[in-house]
Amino acid sequence: MSLTFEPLHPLFVARVTGVDLPTVEDPAVLHALRVGMDRYGVLVFHDQHFTDASQMAFARRFDGELHAKTGAAALGASRLGTEAVADISNVDEAGELLAAGDRRRMYALGNRLWHTDASFQDPPGRYSMLSARVVPAVSADTEFADMRAAYDALDPDIKAQIEGLHAHHSIAHSRRTLGFDFSEEESRKLEGAVHPLVRVNPRTGRRSLYVASHASRIVEMPVPEGRLLLLDLMEHATRDRYVHRHAWRPGDLVIWDNLATMHRGRPFDDTKHRRELRRVTTLDLPLA
C-alpha cells in the first residue's frame, strides 16, 4: 500500500488514499497513520466499507481498547447491541425515522454542540472513527476545530493563567443547556469526570486546549469566573481560522484525535431525511 496525505486545511485535516482500512494489518501502515494523526489531527478516508464488527476490529488494531460507556446508555440499551459502537443515527429499531419529540432524538441534538467524545469519562476518548453508512441528499456536515492551533495563538498571559487548571466535564451539563431533563437515576449514571484544561500529546509534546460543551466549570475557580473563562476559550477556539467542515458521502470514514480537536454536527431536517453513522472511540490510555 502507498499512503498519501493531502492537506485539506492550512492548519490540520488531511485526506488519505492508498489504504483499505477494514483489512489493513501491516504495522508499518498503522504506524504511518498514527504519525499522520499526530500531524493533522483529523484524517478523511473515502470508500471504506465497514460493518460494525470490522470497524471495532480496525479500531483495536489502530489504538487498542475501546470506549464503551456512552452517555446515551443512560437512556436505554443501544439498538446495535453494543455500546462500543455509538449509533449516530436518527432511526429506531425498525429503521424508521425518530419522531420529533422522541427522547433519543432530543438527546442526540446535543451532537450539534462543540464537543470532544467521552470527555465526561475517565479515561476519556482518544481517537474517534466515524463511518458513514447512510447519508441524506441534503447537507448534513460535521465541523472540526483545531484545539492545538487555538492554544498556540493564545496570549502568553492566558496560557500562564490556564496552565494547571482542571475542568469538570459532564454530558448531562451539555444536554441540560438545551433543556433536556434527566431523571435522578439517569443523572447518577452521568456524574462526569475532571481533566486538565491544557492537555499534551504524549508522542509530540504539543499542547492543546481541552474545552467543549461538556465542560461545566473550572475546578480551581469560582463558578461565575470559571464559566466565563470557558466561554471565552470556546469562542476563541471556534473562530473560522481554526475550523474545517466535512461534507459526508457514503463509505467515508473520518478519524479524529479528541486530544487535539473539537467537533460538532451541523443541522439538517432529521425528521425528514435518514442518516446513519457509526462511531467507535478508543480510550485515551497512557502509552506503554
Tell me: cis bond preceding 196? Omega within 30 of 0 counts. no
| pTM higher than the cut 0.85 | yes
pLDDT tens per residue across span 241-252? 999 999 999 999
Confidence of residue 75 (pLDDT cuts 50, 70, 90): confident
Q: Cell numbers for 40, please give them.
A: 493533522
Nearest to 208 by CA among 253, 242, 170: 242
pLDDT tens per residue across span 143-170? 999 999 999 999 999 999 999 999 999 9
pLDDT over threshold 70, residue 95 = yes
pLDDT over threshold 80, residue 72 = no
Task: Give me the pLDDT at residue 77, please.
Answer: 82
Task: Give me the pLDDT at residue 286, please.
Answer: 87
Contacts of 130 (CB under 8 A, 6+ apart): 88, 142, 253, 254, 255, 277, 278, 279
Residues constituting the chain:
288
Pairing of strands 86-89, 42-45: unpaired
pLDDT over threshold 70, residue 1 = no
Pairing of strands 14-17, 42-45: parallel
Nearest to 221 by CA among 155, 164, 159: 164
Task: Give me the pLDDT at residue 74, please.
Answer: 72
Mean pLDDT of the residues in the chain: 95
Confidence of residue 288 (pLDDT cuts 50, 70, 90): low
Confidence of residue 194 (pLDDT cuts 50, 70, 90): very high
Task: Give me the pLDDT at residue 70, please.
Answer: 79
More reliable by pLDDT, 44 or 68: 44
pLDDT tens per residue across span 100-128? 999 999 999 999 999 999 999 999 999 99
pLDDT over threshold 90, residue 202 = yes
pLDDT tens per residue across span 225-245? 999 999 999 999 999 999 999
Cα separation, 256 vs 208, in Å, equals 14
Domains of the chain (ranges, CATH numbers): 4-283 (3.60.130.10)
Nearest to 235 by CA among 157, 171, 158: 158
Alpha helices in 163-222 (DSSP H): 171-176, 184-188
- For 279, phi then psi, to 5°, come to -120, 135
Task: Give me the pLDDT at residue 71, please.
Answer: 77
